[in-house]
Amino acid sequence: MLIEGPLKIGVLDDPEQPGRELHISFTPDFQALEQSNQTQSFAEYLQLLGQNIDKLPESDPNRAGMLIVQQIAEQLLPHLHTGDLEITETIVVEMGRDYASDSLMGLLT
């Protein structure tokens, strides 16, 4: 499922390592917005993401991956609001290898 939004997410999946890395960056269009518009746009993105998750059955393989994206995005929102997040930098999130990360891999490929 493709959800258009302000984030670009890549996964570094090295089989030699115990986990995976998510590389999260903000799109250039999002970076060009004024801070107040960034906060509003990101909140709208979270709302749309939540609505799309709610439409999926529990058994959908994309659901767990989308929930991970939602959880990370919810943690970013307050930092966008206060302006203390450097949105030109890539954010790296380390995660283990489990069903949820497999689901995220499937969602992103």
**pTM score, two decimals?**
0.81
Q: How far apart are CA 34 and CA 94, in angstroms?
A: 29
Predicted confidence at residue 25, as pLDDT, reads 95
Contact 69, 9 (CB under 8 A): yes
pLDDT at 7: 94
pLDDT in single tens digits along all 109 residues of the chain: 456 799 999 888 777 777 788 899 999 999 999 999 999 999 999 999 999 999 999 999 888 888 989 999 999 999 999 999 999 999 998 887 654 555 555 545 4
pLDDT at position 13 is: 79
CB 70 within 8 A of CB 49: yes
